Structure 1
Amino acid sequence: MPLELHDDSATLIGVVTVDEVEQLTAWLRGSQRPRVSLRRCNHLHTGALQALLLFRPKVSAAPKDAFLAAQVLPLLTGSSGPASRQGTEPP
């Protein structure tokens, strides 16, 4: 199961597909202070990403997946991307 949902915390596991977007969105909508662990997630459907961007839950654990960590995590946490951390601006 790609989603483990609890009262105010969720763990996204493996491949989160379009099939999980509605359930994730409903959970995010109903949670007072949602926290999401991405540590075990290695693929995130764009619909799930859009839900996370809309509701802005706290990311309690960063993804181990290199792409998600470098490209998606900065969008969710509001931190600067890899180019900014290296002291260069993107083209």
Structure 2
Amino acid sequence: MTIRFLKTKAVLSGNCTVEEAEDLVQWLVNHPKAEVNMREVTHLHTASLQAIAAAGNRISALPDDPFCAQALQRLGRA
């Protein structure tokens, strides 16, 4: 996965693996008003999903994959 950490947004793309989950959650916790753009995500490891769920940030764009999108919509922040 590639994570681009911008000023007010984390942009995730490709295959979101367990290796990036810790960096992601740390950034989201340190940027509580930041959004998560996941439009280009092709696979989401459950650790990354848990990181996003734990942080509570708004999801600005859901992935095209229906399964990933549905799981993220259940968080109620998309």
State the TM-score, normalized to the length of structure 2.
0.87
1:28 — aligned with what? 28
| Match of residue 39 from structure 2 | 39
- Counterpart contact for 1:59–1:76, Cα < 8 Å: no
Q: How does 1:12-27 map to 2 (within 5 A)?
A: 12-27=12-27
Which residues in structure 2 correspond to 1:40-79 (within 5 Å)?
40-70=40-70, 72-77=71-76
1:7 to partner: Cα distance:
2.1
Q: Are 1:10 and 1:37, in contact at CA under 8 Å, matched by a contact in 2?
A: yes
Q: Which residue of 2 aligns with 1:84?
A: none
Alpha-carbon shift at residue 58 of structure 1 (Å):
0.6
Higher relative contact order (CA 8 A, sep 6+): 2
**Could you tell me how far 1:16 is from its partner in structure 2?**
0.7
The answer on whether the counterparts of 2:22 and 2:51 sit within 8 Å (CA) in structure 1 is: no
Structure 1 runs, 4 residues or longer, greater than 6 Å off: none
Tell me how far 1:73 sits from its aligned partner.
2.0
Percent identical: 36
Q: Any gaps of 5 or more consecutive residues in structure 2?
A: none
Residues 17 and 45 in structure 2, CA contact (< 8 A), matched pair in contact too: yes
Give the length in aligned residue pairs.
78
CA-based RMSD: 1.7
Report how far residue 41 of structure 1 moved: 0.5
Aligned equivalents of 1:22, 1:37: Cα separation in 2: 17
Of Structure 1 and Structure 2, which has the larger fraction of its residues in strand? Answer: 2
